[in-house]
Each structure stands twice: as structure tokens, then as C-alpha cells.
Structure 1
Amino acid sequence: MSRREQMAKKVVVKKATAKAKRTPNPAFMKPMQISDALAKIVGSESIPRTEVVKKLWDYIKKHKLQDAVNKREINADENLKAVFGGKSKVSMFEMTKLVSKHLS
């Protein structure tokens, strides 16, 4: 039996399984209490973490705070500096870590 025949035989043996339907994680949708500094940016007192990140990106893009050369860097204005612990430049990966300090 050639290698090709063996591979064809293996393909025939495999059966298609039904993919399990994905359910949303309720922990991500749980409303979080937001600090006053972060509330100035996202405009709400209590929203889920996913919405906080979404609204932060909306704010960053609206005010053109994303670095022109390195899109992974965010140049903070005065409102964002309060959230980012006084840092004037933050990477997008560091942003979520700094924002989590303002959620409870």
C-alpha cells in the first residue's frame, strides 16, 4: 500500500463532529465599578470590562492619540495620564493592565 493510499484511508476514517455552540462568558459581561478618572473617559459609572476597553479605543481614535509610527503605542493626554498612572506613552498591551487598576 502506497503512502497516498494510507493517507486517503485515514481521511475516510475521520468523521465530522458537530462543533459545540459557543456561549458567552458571564464574567466578561459583569458590570464593573469604575474609578472617577476612568469614568471621565468612558462616560459611565458601571459597565463591563469589554465595554471599557471598547470605549477607551473609541476615545483614543477620536482624539488621535495612537502613535503615527508605532500603532501599538498610545500617546496619553491629560485624561489618559490619570488612568495610566502619569505615563505619557503606553503600549496597547500595557494599557489593559493599567486600566484594570481602575476597575472593581
Structure 2
Amino acid sequence: MAKKSTKTKKTTRKPNAAFMKPVQPDEALAAVVGNKALPRTELTKKLWAYIKKNGLQDAKNKRQINADDKLKAVFNGKKSVNMFDMTKLVSTHLVK
């Protein structure tokens, strides 16, 4: 019985330039993540850090984010949003 070679060629993954380009949050989003221009990846990390620090992730359904007063402004007044809808709502609060 011959053993098959399990070696695979590794390719280095290049980050997408669009995600690395700094974006400027508007006033509502700046209250949560700060008012410095950040790459989208860092903005998302800060947003999740805020959500976890304040215990805003729903205990039963981890996909739901329960908004506090600062996040309600970002979520267009909604009390709770799905994590996938959250990214869509956050993108509307970026200054172009």
C-alpha cells in the first residue's frame, strides 16, 4: 500500500485593499468606535468589543444584538438586529 502525499502548496493570502482603506464613521457610529478613520476590519473589531463589553449580545440567540442608546442611533432606532443586518446598517454610517 502506497501512501499518498498530503503536501499542499501554501499560498499567501493578500488582504483585500477595499477592507484596508480607512473609512470615517459619522457622529452616531463615532460614539461607539471613536471618531478616527479606521479600516473596516478594525471598525468591526471595535464594534464587537463594545457589544461584548456591554453584554449586548442576546443570551439565547447569539446572532441577535440588543441595542443600547448609542447603538440604537446606529441601528436606525431598532431595539434588536441580526448580526448580518448590523453590518448593512453600520455601512450607512460611514462618511464617503
TM-score by length of 2: 0.87
RMSD between aligned residues: 1.9
Q: Point out the structure with max Rg over C-alpha.
A: 1
Deviations 1:22-54 (Å, cap 9, x if unpaired)? Answer: 111221110001101101100133111111111
Deviations 1:27-85 (Å, cap 9, x if unpaired)? Answer: 11100011011011001331111111111110001010111111110110010000000
Question: Can you give the 5+ residue segments of structure 1 that lack an aligned partner in the other structure?
Answer: 1-7
8 Å Cα contact 2:24-2:35 kept in structure 1: no
Check if 1:22 corresponds to 2:13.
Answer: yes
> Percent identity over the alignment?
62
SS of match in other structure, 1:28: helix
Flag the structure with more relative contact order, 1 or 2, with Cα contacts below 8 A and sequence separation at least 6.
Answer: 2
Task: Write the distance in 1 (CA, Å) between the matches of 2:18 and 2:80.
Answer: 30
TM-score by length of 1: 0.81
Partner amino acid, structure 2, of 1:29:
M
Question: Can you give the 5+ residue segments of structure 2 that lack an aligned partner in the other structure?
Answer: none
Check if 1:41 corresponds to 2:32.
Answer: yes
**Aligned match of 1:50 in 23, 26, 41?**
41
Task: Write the distance in 2 (CA, Å) between the matches of 1:24 and 1:41.
Answer: 25
